[in-house]
A and B are shown apart, each in its own frame.
Chain A
Amino acid sequence: MSQITNTGNLGPMILQSLAPAMLYVPTPTMNNILICDKVSMPTNGGTTCRFMRPRALVPPTIQLGNSGIDPPAQVPQRDIIDAQMAFFGTGCVINEQVILQDQEGVLAWVSERLAVAMRQAEDLILRDYIVSAASEINAGGGSNNDNPTNLGLSDFSLVTTTLDTNNAYKFMSGIAGEDRFGTGPIRNSYFMLSSTELQTDFDSLVGQGVINQANYPNNTSALPSEWGSVFNVRILTSSEAPVARNSSANNNDVYYNAVVGKQAVTHINQDGYSMNLIYRDPYYSGMLAQNATLAVKFAQAQAITQDTAIRNLLCTSLYAGNII
């Protein structure tokens, strides 16, 4: 019998080799921050950021006549909006043995994860705030006899008509049509922040006014998370868009689609105190200096600064129940 040396009697001393690149971390697109106005609150400025919006004056539509007497003066008025600054943070305590002995750069990737966690917190706070503070329109244009219904074309039209009637400002200019097969012009638009779970519903409406961004005449202005457009809405999708599970009249999931115009939501940071990544060497831990810390902290406030320019369009889905 020949003596064949194989890995059963002479295996490698070191069995594993770490692949050169880390695998990606599934991370939702973070759309809420995209639609926000940005304001920085100064240091030493108290706890609360205050916004002021002048009120319109009464247009003088009544003629003066020939009496020579001035009309009564108007008293200018203003609206005030306050938002309280809040502080957030998280971190990791890492024993020096991990740093010394681990083969990959643990401090590097933990730093990256902390930064993403901070960014995601910022977006989730905005998401939940918008759900809490903006008024709602239940979709009624769909066909599923639920409340709200699935999205119908009339729902997109209704919500944008609502914002137009409240004199909201649109975010995006239109895209003129070009002589390219399968494309169509895009109207000037508000943004709608939707769930990726609704994309099949959107697909089912393609050809009825719904246009995927691949079919824009040119999509240079399309955002990475932009699914497409319908009427005066450009749809941004994210898997972390708000969904109230089993909450409709027929016990289906309810999706919150925030339709927003300019200045509807303002994100406020604290000047000089936002987005801090903090590394503390083990030297600063106990007497044996065993543990390093990596942490992030940030300050944030948020306010609906134009409530006339935002509505949550609530809907159910015809298809999302099959997403697994």
Chain B
Amino acid sequence: MAEYSRLAKGHFTTNGGLNVVNLPFQPDYVEFLNLTVYTTPTATQVAKAYWDVQMGQGAALYETVTVTTLALVPAYSASGGISTFGAGLLFQYGAQKQIIGATAANPIVFNVTAHGYVVGDIVMFEGLYQSATTGMPQISGMPFVISAVGDADHFSVVWPGAGGNYTALSGSPTGAYVKKVLYPFLYSPGVSFIEAITTGTTTTVVTTAPNNFVVGQQVGFHIPTSWGTTQLNENSNLIIPGSPVYGYVISVTNSTTFVVNINSTGYTAFNTNQTVAAVKAGLSFPQVVAVGDVNTGGVAISSGSVLYPSPVVNGVSTINGPAISGAFVNNTRQGFTVGSVIAPVASQVVYYRAFLHDLSA
């Protein structure tokens, strides 16, 4: 009988990359069975896996289906297996990786040896100088979502890198790095950085990373003069001087694109073609912030959902209870992750059991 141990079981559908399982604790032992592989045995696929905290983070013992007999063969990996996580504090990053090169195009394609990223990861860049006066340091310091992964050494982010002030990177420039933001949305919604603005009777805004806005979200713009479209700014009210100008999100196109109900016809065009020289003088970025909402209800139910769903952040439910849609919510969490070595194929159903033992030796 274990009085203080924690036990959990469940299932999830694999995404082909890093699968996150939220739990009320960080386990010291995890095992899983791949229902899809058991149902339809396929050569080289992983049928079952085990992990104990003593093996080290990211490790796993696992069994794969053999090519000829479909028997299970034991294997071990020190990485790409199971890790625990505690997403409670910001400013936690993955390893800093040298950038070998980058295209001056939209999207910008980065060449980084064995980057290990998947679509949807959030990354930040540093450096990006090709020389003292060239390169693309204009985007250093902003978070970006990875929009595509070409291969193990190439990934893309959406940004108008074809502007005349951007030049390609090559030859592993000194100080040019990328790193993954491990826990990018612990509090939501928040500040987002703007990649594009389409003006008109309504205004369409694209952000560099998921903004987590919902329909009914009230937003405000903080756009430095050099980026144009400053008429959207909160402090641009010509009718009631001093009263901030806000807009409401009227539709959400995807995780990075939303439409706001501000008539921006005739506003100055948005300009991402910032100079390298401006970076060295302290270049502030165009931003949009959540300032409130006009909603009265929570997240709508859907097939298979609970009756009172939790707020969704970056496509995943938070672990807290229901809230007004668009409210400021906490998204801190913990649990374990399943890596791509033991869950390399998407859309497979995996059953897991996780334990935190009273007695562990």
Nearest Cβ on chain B to A213's Cβ, whole angstroms:
27
The count of chain B contact residues (Cβ–Cβ below 8 Å) is 64
Quick one: which of B96, B188, B218, B320 contacts A79, CB cutoff 8 A? Answer: B218
Residues of A within 8 A of B90 (CB): 128, 131-132, 242
Which chain B residue has the least Cβ–Cβ distance from A152? Answer: B282
B328 touches A84 (CB 8 A): yes
Interface of B is mostly: loop
- Given A84-B311, A133-B187, the answer on whether A249 and B126 have CB atoms closer than 8 Å is yes
**Contact residues in A for B114 (Cβ distance below 8 Å):** none
- Is B89 an interface residue when CB atoms closer than 8 A count as contact? yes
Q: Cβ of A139 and Cβ of B290 under 8 Å apart?
A: no
Give complex CA distance A30, B175 in Å.
Answer: 34
| A248 touches which of B140, B284, B322 (Cβ 8 Å) | B140
Query: A80 — nearest CB in chain B belongs to which residue?
Result: B292
Is B281 an interface position by the 8 A CB rule? yes
Contact of A251 among B177, B189, B240 (CB under 8 A): B177
Asked if A249 meets B128 with Cβ closer than 8 Å, knowing A84-B330, A133-B190, A138-B282, the reply is yes
Contact string against A for B residues 318-361, beta-carbon threshold 8 Å, 1 for contact and 0 otherwise:
00111110111110100000000000000000000000000000
Determine whether A296 belongs to the interface, using a CB cutoff of 8 Å to chain B.
no
- Assuming A135-B191, A302-B328, is B127 touching A249 (CB within 8 A)? yes
Taking the closest CB of chain A, its distance from the CB of B328, in whole angstroms, is 4
B200 contacts A by Cβ under 8 Å:
no
- From the candidates B91, B187, B239, B289, name the one contacting A245 in the complex (CB within 8 A): B91
Residue pair B126, A247 in contact (C-beta under 8 Å): yes
Q: How far is the CB of A259 from chain B (nearest CB, A)?
A: 14
Q: B55 in the interface, Cβ–Cβ < 8 Å?
A: no
Q: Is the CB of A47 within 8 A of B323?
A: yes
A276 proximal to B (CB < 8 A): no
Chain B minimum-CB-distance residue to A142: B282
Residue A184 at the B interface, CB < 8 A?
A: no
The complex places the Cα of A134 from the Cα of B235 at a distance, in Å, of 16
Contact with A along B93-112 (1 / 0, CB 8 A): 10010000000000000000
| B243 interfacial contact with A, CB 8 Å | yes
CA distance A309 to B290 in the complex (A): 14
B262 at the binding interface (Cβ < 8 Å) = no
| Minimum Cβ distance to chain A for residue B249 (Å) | 14
Verify if B293 is at the interface (C-beta below 8 Å from A): yes
Task: Check if A307 sits within 8 Å of B291, measured CB to CB.
Answer: yes
Check B292–A79 contact: CB distance below 8 A.
yes
Query: Within 8 Å of chain B (Cβ to Cβ): is A239?
Result: no
CB distance A84 to B327 under 8 Å? yes
Given that A135-B222, A246-B126, A250-B175 are contacting pairs, would A166 and B328 also be in contact in the complex, using a CB cutoff of 8 Å? no
Among A48-56, A111-119, A175-183, the stretch that binds chain B is A48-56
Question: Interface size (A, Cβ < 8 Å)?
Answer: 62
Q: Mark B227-252, 1 if CB is under 8 A from A, else 0.
A: 00000001100011011101000000
When distances are taken between beta carbons in the complex, the residues of chain B under 8 Å from A129 are: 187, 328
Picked from A137, A140, A251, the residue with its CB within 8 Å of the CB of B281 is: A140
A141 interface contact, C-beta 8 A: yes
Verify if B269 is at the interface (C-beta below 8 Å from A).
Answer: no
Asked whether A93 is an interface residue with its Cβ less than 8 Å from the other chain, the reply is yes
**CB <8 Å contact, A286 and B1:** yes
Does A192 count as interface, using CB distance less than 8 angstroms?
A: no
Set of chain B residues within 8 Å of A79, measured between Cβ atoms: 218, 246, 291-292
Q: Which of B141, B291, B324 contacts A147 (CB 8 A)?
A: B141
Question: Are B328 and A303 touching (Cβ within 8 A)?
Answer: yes
Q: Which residues of chain A are near B17, meaning CB under 8 Å?
A: none
Q: Is the CB of A243 within 8 A of B91?
A: yes
**Minimum CB distance partner of A134 in chain B:** B191
Indicate whether B137 reaches chain A with its CB closer than 8 angstroms: yes
Q: CB-defined interface of A238-267 with B at 8 Å, one 1/0 digit per residue?
A: 000011111111110010000000000000
Q: Are B324 and A48 in contact (CB under 8 A)?
A: yes
Which B residues lie within 8 Å of A50 (CB)? Answer: 324
What A residues does B326 contact at CB under 8 A? 82
In the bound complex, residues from chain B placing their C-beta under 8 Å from that of A32 are none
Q: Contact check, A147 vs B140: say whether CB atoms are below 8 A apart.
A: yes
Q: Does A285 contact B (CB under 8 A)?
A: yes
| Given known A84-B324, A135-B289, contact A166–B244 (CB-CB < 8 A) | yes
**Contact yes or no, B330 A125, CB < 8 A:** yes
Q: Known A58-B239, A148-B282; judge A48-B323 contact (CB<8 A).
A: yes
Identify 12 residue pairs between A and B in the complex whose beta-carbon atoms are under 8 Å apart, listed by A's number.
A57-B240, A81-B328, A82-B326, A83-B328, A128-B186, A131-B90, A132-B90, A133-B290, A133-B328, A136-B191, A147-B279, A285-B3
6 extra interface residue pairs, beta carbon distance < 8 Å, beyond A82-B295, A83-B328, A128-B89: A55-B240, A58-B240, A132-B191, A133-B187, A136-B284, A166-B244
